[in-house]
Amino acid sequence: MTTYAEIILPLPLSQTFTYSVPKEWASEIQIGCRVTVSFGRKKIYTGIVQRIHSIQPEGFDVKPITALLDTKPILKALQLKLWDWMAYYYLSSLGEIMKAALPSGLKPEGDSEKGILQSYHPRTETMLSLPPLMVEEEQTLQKAIDSLKRAPKQQELLLLFLDLCHYEPISTQNKEKQEKTISSTNIPINRHSFLTQAGTSANILSQLIKRGFLEQYEVERGRLCTQETKKQAIKPLNAAQKEALRQIQQFFSKKNAPKGSSDQAQESKQICLLHGVTSSGKTEIYIHLIEEVLKRKKQVLYLLPEIALTTQITERLKCVFGNQIGIYHSQFSDEIRIEIWQKQLSENPYPVILGARSSLFLPWKDLDLIIVDEEHENSFKQYDPSPRYHAKHTAMVLASYFKAKVLLGSATPSIESYQLAKEGKYGLVLLSERYQGLQLPSIIPIDIKELRHQKKMNGSFSQVLLDAIKKALSQKEQIILFQNRRGFSPLIECKSCGWIPRCKNCDVSLTYHKKANLLTCHYCGYTENVPTQCPSCEKSKLAYHGIGTERIEDEISILFPEAKIARMDIDTAHTRIQYEQILSNLECQNIDILIGTQMISKGLDFDHVSTVGILDADTMLNFPDFRAHERAFQLIAQVAGRAGRKGKRGAVYIQTRSIEHPIIRQVMQYDYEALYKDQLEERALFHYPPYYRLIYVYLKHRNKSIAEKAAMHISGLLRTYLPGRVMGPVEPIVARVQQLFIRQIVLKMEHEASVNQTRQLLHYAQQELLSQPLYKSVIIYYDVDPM
């Protein structure tokens, strides 16, 4: 009987593909193993076995699997179950999830002529040792040494090797030593290190190997750090932290509260929200919870929204847990990620993984706790490419498979999470005081609208903020200046004719970057040189509008020429190494003033920052999105939290043209409850989350007319079946990216609406549209629960 396998291929296709299993592998192949298969006429892909059966397909010739790559599965059953859920819920394909989940080296591709491309190579080390015969028979070794009298350099090199490998003749060993394996008298030496110490040529060594006096061989060495670190004791918690930990433990306990009990904290919850102000010591609570899980011999996943955040947290956790911590994120090399994947499949996996959203895909054995730190961050959402999943929600599903607990932590929780906690669906624990009794920073709003009218602004700065910076510098304190736009100027305009340089691929203006002297598109990366005169009217009156971090850096350098100034944005901290260098310089006080985008807001801890300036709060407040006010509050509060974290109370200066805006008042008073109530009222009125689920339908095409017609056609179909729930189509804020015109349709669905029926309806509408010749090249994709 022929065996068949359903294979997932790393392609954006909704179905699996059936291949026959050659007889020699029929008893070995398992679900979750990798295989190579030919696809189409020329391509060879690595696929994952999803199902094995004996049902012969009809209507096409079945190709055989060309190679079985694994003797054991690299994916566990619960991983495949998570893939299925993600494809179902996020309207994605299994192939897209496979592509996102696996490191590249685990899914090599090729063509039928060259074969499969091998992209992962284990790191090896060339070692030298004595042949076993020379170790066992002392006389043989002595003859070898004597035979080299006419080759003194070889003899000298061999004698040096014996000295470095701590060779000890068996005849001189005591009985206890002789009973040990002979490897104890034949310690291998790294070839490169040996040649460096000997200070000789590789040719002399090659002669010793050729004559059989030394052996050379390759040893696989992992890339993962195995060096033991000195562990520190876990810090004791203060009274407020102890109480928060007690409540979390009660929520996570298996015992439910007795009927009629008023103690909600005794009700068992799978998910708990820790709402703790900035610098309240949430991380120390996490450490105590991790320690409890490790005592039970279980595993913890510590999720962070940004790769950059792992820098400081890693050091703190390594001090406590040493090499029990594994770090996993996309900025590590593919080889390191593969080795971590393999370690998690081994009998000795990391008990704790600290990582960004991709760490959800790792093979878990005994997952018991997932910590989602800074749970409000929209960086947990994958935007492009598909699957457009949210790591927080996916973590909850993954945890449910293991009956594990989920702890969400934030100083400014998302409205959705906070509502679920207030309703009792999540546990809710409050931590309202800062660690060591530190005061929250004072918030000083500055009305720059009035100051600009009175011409009292010094470039981008009010005098109040400049005085605060001057005072902080005089006291050897550090300053953070926040501007959530990079580059020098977001807009260049001709004063004479109004010409504005725009991207040739996207419907956006080009941003001026002074250091590179280029105009750059922040959507597709297109660049062009800065014109010396207007190409439209040929006049030289070009004006620079708007403020970016680069411009702030220029201005502050002129105002404070003696200060050590640095900038942190995607241009200066593009790599992990660059980012860590800036943090190190700030920590060592080699930076007086740090200017940055939202990268500086993300939960980082600096000892000497006393003053924070938010230079233009209005760009956050006036963004056309229903979450704009929530995000503005979160961002301002998080940036403010960097001030005065140790030693004394800090100060935060908010420059705004909307001094009466309710968000400014709420931030000044740290009044999250007021923000929450305002947002709930507004969202209930306009059918937004948390009361409704959103699904964005996007259509793209190179022809603007076809994109518009396709969007109208599909929105008409959807309105037939979903009356009152379909908004649009509309042009998004950026209506053309990389030469593709975009149209957006918004579905507002009740929570009780069937996910399956919605999925089927969208699939039907898509198939009906693409079946028409005019629309066959239209790109359609979905964003479920957009951020």
The CATH number for 657's domain is 3.40.50.300
| Residue 25 counted as domain residue | yes
pLDDT tens per residue, range 627-682: 999 999 998 888 887 787 566 788 999 999 999 999 999 998 889 999 999 999 99
Same domain, 16 and 129: no
pLDDT value for 228: 65
Average confidence (pLDDT) over 114-122: 66
pLDDT value for 116: 61
Same domain, 214 and 66: no
- Do 54 and 2 meet the contact criterion of CB atoms below 8 Å apart? yes
pLDDT value for 334: 84
pLDDT tens per residue, range 329-380: 877 888 889 999 999 999 999 999 999 999 999 999 999 999 999 999 999 9
Question: For residue 140, what pLDDT band results from cuts at 50, 70 and 90?
Answer: confident
| Residue 638 counted as domain residue | yes
Instruction: Provide the domain count of the chain.
Output: 6
Same domain, 630 and 697: no
pLDDT value for 179: 43
DSSP letters along 48-69, please? EEEEEE-PPP-SSPPPBP-EE-
Same domain, 413 and 450: no
| Residue 227 counted as domain residue | no
| Residue 720 counted as domain residue | yes
pLDDT at 184 over 70: no
Same domain, 424 and 312: yes
Question: For residue 194, what pLDDT band results from cuts at 50, 70 and 90?
Answer: confident
pLDDT at 261 over 60: no
Average confidence (pLDDT) over 213-218: 88
Convert 78-114 into a string of H (helix), E (strand) and C (coil): HHHHHHHHHHHHCCCCHHHHHHHHCCHHHCCCEECCC
The CATH number for 111's domain is 3.40.1440.60
pLDDT value for 134: 78
Same domain, 259 and 393: yes
Instruction: Return the structure tokens found at 330.
Output: 């996309």
Q: Tell me the pTM.
A: 0.85
Same domain, 580 and 718: no
Question: For residue 124, what pLDDT band results from cuts at 50, 70 and 90?
Answer: confident
Domain boundary among 660, 682, 704: 682
pLDDT at 252 over 70: yes
The CATH number for 758's domain is 3.30.70.600
Domain boundary among 116, 149, 171: 116
Same domain, 327 and 403: yes
For residues 400 and 155, the model is more confident at: 400
Instruction: Return the structure tokens found at 603.
Output: 């939960």
Q: For a pLDDT cut of 90, what percent of the chain falls above it?
A: 55
Q: How far apart are alpha carbons 99 and 87 in whole angstroms?
A: 12
Q: How many CB atoms lie within 10 A of CB 733?
A: 12
| Residue 228 counted as domain residue | no
Same domain, 654 and 625: yes
Domain containing 616 equals 442-486+552-682
Same domain, 148 and 71: no
- Do 646 and 607 meet the contact criterion of CB atoms below 8 Å apart? yes
Q: How far apart are alpha carbons 705 and 741 in whole angstroms?
A: 9
pLDDT value for 181: 39
pLDDT value for 227: 62
Least confident residue range of 90-104, 105-119, 489-503 = 105-119
| Residue 301 counted as domain residue | yes
The helix/strand/coil state of 8 is strand
Least confident residue range of 219-233, 357-371, 619-633 = 219-233
Q: Using the structure block, give the residue that is written with the tokens 């599909």.
A: 714
Domain boundary among 72, 98, 116: 116
| Residue 225 counted as domain residue | no
pLDDT at 274 over 50: yes
pLDDT value for 173: 46
pLDDT value for 118: 62
Average confidence (pLDDT) over 251-255: 78
pLDDT value for 270: 95
Average confidence (pLDDT) over 35-60: 91
Q: Whose CA is closest to 657, among 628, 614, 687?
A: 614
Q: Whose CA is closest to 352, among 282, 295, 301, 405?
A: 301
pLDDT tens per residue, range 534-555: 888 888 888 888 889 999 999 9
pLDDT at 2 over 50: yes
Same domain, 387 and 336: yes
pLDDT value for 178: 41
Average confidence (pLDDT) over 231-235: 83
pLDDT value for 622: 83
| Residue 619 counted as domain residue | yes
pLDDT tens per residue, range 62-92: 999 999 999 999 999 999 999 999 999 999 9
Same domain, 243 and 199: no
Q: Using the structure block, give the residue that is written with the tokens 């259509």.
A: 699
DSSP letters along 530-562, please? PPSS-TTT----EEEES--HHHHHHHHHHH-TT
